[in-house]
Amino acid sequence: MFGISKHISNIVYRKPIAGIFCLRLLSYVKAETVFEPLAKKRNGQSAAEYLHQQLLKKYDPTGKRTALVSGTNKIRTGDVIKVTYLDRSTVLGRVLGIKRGTHNVGSNILIRNKILKVGCEMRIPLFNPEIKNIEIIERPEKYLPRNKQYYIRNTKYDVGDLENELRSQAKK
């Protein structure tokens, strides 16, 4: 099919009269669809809702990550969490904000830590397939106000070096 249109464009350029005939011929040729069209409704759902459910089944078969965002034992701003990746690297930080995406697929977490007295922030996609585990290490006794705690940067409420603080608590 693709070779025919290339051949016809060469004919139109070289011989205008023959090209008109070829363009008419091309209008009668049925183009094959490359992708199968989606059905408008699947079990009474729109295509977007169906797609979100398929993505949740693929990236969160146990439902553990969905429960971290919308369950009873969910992550809140101010919690200290530890994220473990498949390559065994870990990231530790205090949650500054949680962005809950549509149907939880686009959810991500903003965490902050201080490394060598320099503030470091990371935005971690919750349904990233490279993440092995997300666990809550510590919950504060009293939560600070607001869901997004961007205001704690460089104030007295700012996080310290969390890894050293947790080590010193473990020694006691």
DSSP 57-96: HHH-SSSHHHHHHHSTT---TT-EEEEEETTS-EEEEEEE
Half-sphere exposure (Cβ direction) of 82: Cα atoms closer than 13 Å: 11
Whether 80 and 115 share a structural domain: yes
Residue-range definition of the domain harbouring residue 62: 58-139
CB atoms closer than 10 angstroms to residue 19: 16
pLDDT tens, position by position, 19-32: 555 555 556 666 67
172 within a domain of the structure (yes/no): no
pLDDT by residue (tens digit) across 12-64? Answer: 455 555 555 555 555 666 667 777 776 667 778 887 888 888 888 888 888 88
Say if 161 falls within a structural domain: no
Would residue 51 count as lying in a domain? no
* 26 inside domain: yes
Amino acid identity at 150: Y
0.75 exceeded by pTM: no
Judgement on whether residues 24 and 65 belong to the same structural domain of the protein = no
Residues in the chain: 172
